[in-house]
Amino acid sequence: MDNLTPVPEATEVAKYRPSKSEYLRRYHISIKFLDRGVMVTVGCKEIAFESVEAFMKSFNTYMDNPGSAQEGWEKFFHEQEQVK
């Protein structure tokens, strides 16, 4: 009985995070360039940009870290639904 080894403490299980390509496949994105600005459809939501430059800035941010961007969108849309 003196040869018992202590049981290691339970460690927190790491939360699963999809890969960048998994995040990019998560939503269908449609981009429509207009006379003035850009209309982007993400899933069932539409986002209007006043200029191509504003769209490109947001798009580049999204492509750098799509997971963070999607989490922000989902939080925003969830908050909007709570207000209704």
**What mean pLDDT value characterizes the chain?**
89
What does residue 24 show for φ and ψ, rounded to 5 degrees?
A: -65, -30
> Burial level of 66, CB count in 10 A (0-12/13-18/19+)?
buried
pLDDT at 25: 94
Whole-model pTM?
0.69
Between 67 and 11, the more confident residue is 67
Mean pLDDT of 43-59: 94
Q: Which two tokens stand for residue 59?
A: 């798009």
Tokens 């941010």 -> residue? 61
Structure tokens at 66: 């799509």
pLDDT at 1: 56
For residue 83, the surrounding DSSP H or E stretch is helix 66-83
How is the chain split into domains, by residue range?
25-83
